Amino acid sequence: MVNPATILVTGAMVGSLYVLIAIGFSLIYGVRGVINLAHGAFIMLGAFAYLVAGGQVSGVAAFVIAILFVGLFAVGLYLGLVRYIEHNVVITFLATVVVALIIQQLLTLEYSLAPRSLEPIVSGGIAFAGTRVRYYQLIAFALSWVALGLLFLFVRRTTLGRNILATSMTEKGAKLAGTNVLYVNVATWFVAGAFAGFAGVFIGTLQSTSPTMWINPLGLAFIIVTIGGVGSIKGSIIAAYLIGFLETMTVTFVGPAWRGMFALLLLVVIILAKPEGLFGREFIE
């Protein structure tokens, strides 16, 4: 007999991780209209940054370093490349894939393709609702909500956040109202990168860290953002949890091999029935 509480707890844990995976992708898509296919590579860089820093400093410090490193890397990618090509969707699409492939090659040269496991920030776990939950899963769940809360406060309460929202609605209008659009873009890429770095640390810990680990999170981010609605943070959060619960139920009732199948079916249904996604383009509501 399956305990529904087990599905609830596991689904929530998976969903919280998927939120982290999708939020940066959604943010850049929503504010800039840029489909950043290097997003999966950002997540991978977060895992590797944590791996490298973890050998030198404490787990918590390595976690912070990974977040900052990916945030700054994202800003560098924007300033060094994307800002010059972002008005051409196809070129941006191709260029960000190439960036991801270059990062994959460089990491392969340095670390080989062998998967590595990351040392969790906190080891151990507790039995809860008929399942065993590891402490770092609980930390990922709690911190993802803290990070989302901070993101909401940032866009709602700060001048820069309001400018990000405004620019997501109309860049021309924002310029004519005196917004520093370059500053807005840099901040957006930093926040998106930081969320990806955050996700990378926990994905690398829960699964494995290797130079090919960027593909699955990228596909997942794409599915979540399409289901939730392009540019809608609220939509991304709901879609991430929806897929988290769907996958957990699939694994429980059908089998692990079918894990991603129903998320893809849901994607097809949404594309056919509501192509704009569950929440359309409303950004942060």
Partner 1 sequence: MPGETLLEVDDLSVFYGSSQALGEVSLDVDEGEIVSVIGPNGAGKTTLLESMSGLLPYEGSVRYQGQEVSERNVRALVGDGLLHCTEDRDLFPFFTVHQNLLMGGQRLGRSEREERLDYVYDLFPRLDERRSQEAETMSGGEQQMLAIGRALMGDPDLLMLDEPTQGLAPVIIEDISDAVEELRSEGLTLLLAEQNTTFAMQHADRLYLVETGTIELSGTDEEFKNNDYVRDAYIGIT
The amino acid sitting at 239 is: A
174 binding partner 1? (CB under 8 A): yes
Cβ(230)–Cβ(237) under 8 Å?
Answer: no
Cβ(212)–Cβ(6) under 8 Å?
Answer: no
Based on CB atoms, which residue is closest to partner 1, 5 or 177?
177
Minimal distance in Å, beta carbon 176 to partner 1? 5
Q: Of 58, 105, 170, 212, which lies in the binding site for partner 1, with binding defined by CB under 8 A?
A: 170
Based on CB atoms, which residue is closest to partner 1, 13 or 164?
164
Please tell me the count of residues contacting partner 1 according to CB under 8 A: 20
Minimal distance in Å, beta carbon 172 to partner 1? 5
The amino acid sitting at 145 is: W
Angle of CA points 238, 8, 274, to nearest 5°:
25
Based on CB atoms, which residue is closest to partner 1, 120 or 235?
235
173 binding partner 1? (CB under 8 A): yes
Angle between helix 215-228 and 233-253 (nearest 10): 120
Please report which residue ranges of 170-214 form alpha helices under DSSP H.
171-176, 181-206
Identify which of 173, 236, 267, 243 has the alpha carbon closest to the alpha carbon of residue 24. 236
157 binding partner 1? (CB under 8 A): no
Cα dihedral sign, 226-218-28-11: positive
* Options 12-20, 121-129, 172-180, 267-275: segment touching partner 1 (CB under 8 A): 172-180
State phi, psi for 263 to the nearest 5 degrees.
-65, -40
86 binding partner 1? (CB under 8 A): no
Q: Of 83, 116, 134, 162, which lies in the binding site for partner 1, with binding defined by CB under 8 A?
A: 162
88 binding partner 1? (CB under 8 A): no
- Tokens representing residue 237 in the block: 């959060």
- Tokens representing residue 239 in the block: 């879609």
* Options 33-41, 46-54, 161-169, 212-220: segment touching partner 1 (CB under 8 A): 161-169
CA 247, CA 9: separation in Å to the nearest integer? Answer: 13
- Tokens representing residue 271 in the block: 């594309």
159 binding partner 1? (CB under 8 A): yes
Based on CB atoms, which residue is closest to partner 1, 60 or 177?
177
**3-class state of residue 279 by DSSP:** coil
Q: Of 36, 92, 96, 179, which lies in the binding site for partner 1, with binding defined by CB under 8 A?
A: 179
* Options 50-58, 89-97, 162-170, 267-275: segment touching partner 1 (CB under 8 A): 162-170
CA 174, CA 166: separation in Å to the nearest integer? Answer: 6
Minimal distance in Å, beta carbon 179 to partner 1? 7
Based on CB atoms, which residue is closest to partner 1, 16 or 188?
188
CA 50, CA 6: separation in Å to the nearest integer? Answer: 30
For partner 1, the binding residues (CB under 8 A) are 159, 162-163, 165-166, 169-170, 172-181, 282-283, 285
